[in-house]
Amino acid sequence: MLVRPNEIQKVANMFMNAVHEDEIDLLNDLYEALRSGDIEKADRLMDEFAVDLEDHFSTEEALMREADFFGYPMHKADHDNMRKEFKKVYDAWKERKNPKEVLDFLKEKFVPWLKLHVAQWDSVTAMHIGD
Ligand SMILES: [Fe+2]
Ligand SMILES: [Fe+2]
């Protein structure tokens, strides 16, 4: 397992927690497919993850705009950095289908980023938005 649900902090908005939990499930499925060398399945899950990540970020951004959240530009900038990082890995995957590149990214970059991002930004945002 790449990441356990309890490793990601719960925030004060149930919808955001549900989005995070679904993403963790998908990440773990992608991780297993990559580790077992099931390229076809991993490819499908990479596409699903690309859509899921964009949904995750744009949903939070819409919630922040509706609630006039003061931290919107900073929170969105952190999403935008990850959008760029992920796009590089996604494009490299489409070109080379090298599981190790994606596995390294997930373990060394994405999961540590997600933990920190949720603790730093999503939690404050959720407190502002409420449930
Ligand atoms: Fe989030
Ligand atoms: Fe976020």
Q: What spacing in Å lies between the alpha carbon of 115 and ligand 2's midpoint?
A: 10
Q: What's the mean per-residue pLDDT of the chain?
A: 97
130 confidence band (pLDDT: 50, 70, 90): confident
Q: Residue 102 above 80 pLDDT?
A: yes
Neighbour tally for 96: CB within 10 Å: 11
Q: Give the number of domains in the chain.
A: 1
- pTM, two decimals, is 0.96
Are 122 and 12 within 8 A, CB to CB? no
Ligand nearest to the CA of 16: 1
Q: What spacing in Å lies between the alpha carbon of 109 and ligand 1's midpoint?
A: 16
Q: Residue 131 above 90 pLDDT?
A: no
Q: What spacing in Å lies between the alpha carbon of 43 and ligand 1's midpoint?
A: 23
Domain residues for the domain of 88 are: 5-129
Q: What spacing in Å lies between the alpha carbon of 57 and ligand 1's midpoint?
A: 7
CA distance 131 to 126: 7
Half-sphere exposure of 14 (CA within 13 A, CB side): 1
pLDDT at 112: 98
Which domain CATH number covers 69?
1.20.120.50
Q: What spacing in Å lies between the alpha carbon of 96 and ligand 1's midpoint?
A: 29
